[in-house]
């Protein structure tokens, strides 16, 4: 199948994408899919009917439908950690039972959600307060999946935030926590320690710093702590009583955890009702993913477009470009979701991967990116497939004209990438400016846009909690499909372990309590230099 796709790509690779619209007036409709008001337009790619047919066959070859059902049914599809993968259960609000090892997990999920809702409501209305009164600030301390999801979503849903201010501390760099705590009143600050394992070095260091900060100012610092974790023994050892711990099971992966307790800071910010709407959006995408035929299935199609661009066309990166400023942290969130999930070199059985792993994901919101890296996207020698996200409406009343400018810019970019500008056109422009001869030719060449650069666009009415839920679940399932097709286990993350181990080994060397014997010359030299400079 991969060979068929590669042959097909060879045959079509120089064909202008624009020509596909000329030969097929229905192309935009035939290469777009909708789920309710969410639209995925993948027509500005070089995938034609034959390409689509071959790509869809990958799903059958990899038995994606079976794997999908195994995931939803609670099978231990995370084989290297022997775990089920059930973040979908967290948003299975009124669905049926979900069995793990013969036990329905839904009563526990509902109970934890209800506890979170009671707690969030109490924080918001002041029944749960600090010694100085109603909480004004909530500080979420966590990293990776225990930070990126709630942080991204809290920013995305800022127009719905009517609770206390939320802050996110993740980096072990003390600058991070110092900058946040400086702005908070200790007597009115709630600290949420979010860590699935409750062992993560950065989070534990920041939690200890927050505790020391509170201890300096209040009589009972522990009363202002909450933990979100699946390690209840460790949260107890830290001094957080069980009634202030929101637990979750090992079948919720860190980067898939925003839907459960890890989303508590978001729930406090936007309120339980809006949080439920977020869950409903995720659930709507789950139902679609499970029931829509592959040719109309948004996550599956998004995954296949990605596979076409990365594994078949050889474009190693993908830019995520939200024309929605509050999705500013979406690229960072997706970097963990996609690259920690599908950045693997071996297949499930341990054999080397037959094709490249998932793409390098990066991006920034438009229009800012236009004035930074779009130069390379338009004229650089490497092709960067782009993913645009755009809302029909913003939240800023009276500024609709500005929002329309945002939309125009978004659409202009995908059009420019596809259309490009030929040398003849560039020559005409230079001639109209009065240039002639060699100078005309030289200047014209700088103004050529090769075009034929692919993109997809995800459009929606407005970035509300439900829509954000749909978008995040869309990306989650896209990663799942891509992982199954590539033969990867998308749910472990062994690649982060070595650095953690070495950091622990280096810590005493940096502190000067152990020598650097056995380290390579560069590492030992850097330790010596930094110690000499006062480390």
Interface with ligand F6P (CB under 6 A):
143-146, 195-197, 200, 203, 254-255, 340, 493, 496
Half-sphere exposure of 491 (CA within 13 A, CB side): 25
Per the structure block, which two tokens stand in for 371?
């004035």
- Give, in order, the Cα–Cα distances in Å from 369 to each of 410, 413, 475: 11, 11, 22
Measured from the CB atom, is 496 or 530 closer to ligand F6P?
496
Choose, from 340, 364, 387, 482, the residue flagged as catalytic: 340
Active-site residue 13, yes or no?
no
Strand-pairing partners, residue 100, are 103
CB of 343 to ligand F6P, least distance (A): 12
Distances (CA, A) of 203 to 154, 210, 240: 19, 10, 15
340 is annotated as an active-site residue: yes
* C-beta closer to ligand F6P: residue 198 or 460: 198
- Minimum distance from residue 257 beta carbon to ligand F6P (Å): 7
Task: Give min distance, CB of 289 to ligand F6P, in A.
Answer: 23
Residue closer to ligand F6P by CB (options 88, 229) is 229
Taking the C-alpha atoms of residue 13 and residue 330, their distance in angstroms, rounded to an integer, is 31
Query: Is there a contact between 396 and 402 (Cβ–Cβ < 8 Å)?
Result: yes
| 371 is an active site residue | yes
Output 149 or 454, the one with its CB closest to ligand F6P: 149
Distance CA 411, CA 93 (A): 36
Which position's Cβ is nearest ligand F6P? 254
Half-sphere exposure of 344 (CA within 13 A, CB side): 27
Cα separation, 123 vs 264, whole angstroms: 11
What minimum distance in Å lies between the beta carbon of 358 and ligand F6P? 15
Q: Which of 69, 79, 439, 500 is catalytic?
A: 500
Closer by beta carbon to ligand F6P, 197 or else 393: 197
Number of residues written out for the chain? 535
Q: Which is nearer to ligand F6P, 46 or 195 (by Cβ)?
A: 195
Q: What is the DSSP string of 467-501?
A: HHHHHHHHHHHHHHHHHHHHT--TT--GGGHHHHH
Instruction: Give the dihedral of Cα atoms 175, 181, 182, 185; nearest 10 deg.
Output: 180
Which residue of the set 22, 371, 397, 497 is catalytic?
Answer: 371
Q: What's the closest the beta carbon of residue 201 comes to ligand F6P, in angstroms?
A: 9
CB of 260 to ligand F6P, least distance (A): 12
Catalytic residues: 340, 371, 500
């Amino acid at each position: 199948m991969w060979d068929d796709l590669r042959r097909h790509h060879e045959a079509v690779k120089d064909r202008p994408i624009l020509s596909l619209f000329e030969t097929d007036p229905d192309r935009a409709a035939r290469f777009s899919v909708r789920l309710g008001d969410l639209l995925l337009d993948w027509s500005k790619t070089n995938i034609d009917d034959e390409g689509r047919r071959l790509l869809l066959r990958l799903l059958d070859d990899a038995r994606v439908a079976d794997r999908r059902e195994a995931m939803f049914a609670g099978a231990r599809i995370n084989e290297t950690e022997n775990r089920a993968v059930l973040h979908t259960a967290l948003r299975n609000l009124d669905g049926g039972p979900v069995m793990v090892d013969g036990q329905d997990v839904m009563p526990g999920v509902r109970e934890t959600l209800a506890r979170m809702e009671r707690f969030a409501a109490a924080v918001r209305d002041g029944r749960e307060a600090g010694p100085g009164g109603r909480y004004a600030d909530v500080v979420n301390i966590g990293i990776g999946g225990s930070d990126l999801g709630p942080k991204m979503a809290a920013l995305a849903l800022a127009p719905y935030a009517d609770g206390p201010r939320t802050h996110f501390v993740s980096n072990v760099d003390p600058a991070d926590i110092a900058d946040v705590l400086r702005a908070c009143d200790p007597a009115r600050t709630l600290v949420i320690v979010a860590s699935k394992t409750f062992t993560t070095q950065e989070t534990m260091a920041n939690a200890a710093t927050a505790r020391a900060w509170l201890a300096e100012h209040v009589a009972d610092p522990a009363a202002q702590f909450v933990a979100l974790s699946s390690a209840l023994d460790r949260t107890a050892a830290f001094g957080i009583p069980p009634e202030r711990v929101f637990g979750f099971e090992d079948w919720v992966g860190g980067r898939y955890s925003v839907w459960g307790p890890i989303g508590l800071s978001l729930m406090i910010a936007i309120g339980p009702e809006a949080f439920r709407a977020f869950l409903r959006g995720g659930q709507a995408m789950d139902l679609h993913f499970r029931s829509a035929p592959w040719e109309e299935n948004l996550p599956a199609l998004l995954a296949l477009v990605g596979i076409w661009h990365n594994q078949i066309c050889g474009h190693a990166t993908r830019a995520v470009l939200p024309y929605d400023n509050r999705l500013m942290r979406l690229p960072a969130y997706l970097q963990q979701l996609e690259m920690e999930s599908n950045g693997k070199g071996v297949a499930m059985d341990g054999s080397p991967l037959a094709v490249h792993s998932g793409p390098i994901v990066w991006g920034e919101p438009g229009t800012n990116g236009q004035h930074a890296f779009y130069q390379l996207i338009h004229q650089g020698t490497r092709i960067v497939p782009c993913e645009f996200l755009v809302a029909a409406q913003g939240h800023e009343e009276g500024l609709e004209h500005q929002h329309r400018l945002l939309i125009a810019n978004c659409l202009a970019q995908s059009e420019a990438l596809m259309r490009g500008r030929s040398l003849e056109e560039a020559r005409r422009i230079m001639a109209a400016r009065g240039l002639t001869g060699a100078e005309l030719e030289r200047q014209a060449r700088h103004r050529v846009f090769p075009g034929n650069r692919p993109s997809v666009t995800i459009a929606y009415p407005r970035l509300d909690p439900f829509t954000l839920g749909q978008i995040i679940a869309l990306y989650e399932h896209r990663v799942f499909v891509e992982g199954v097709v590539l033969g990867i286990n998308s749910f472990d993350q062994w690649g982060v372990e070595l650095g953690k181990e070495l950091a622990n080994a280096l810590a005493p060397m940096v502190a000067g309590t152990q020598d650097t014997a056995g380290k390579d010359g560069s590492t030992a030299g850097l330790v010596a230099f930094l110690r000499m400079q006062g480390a």
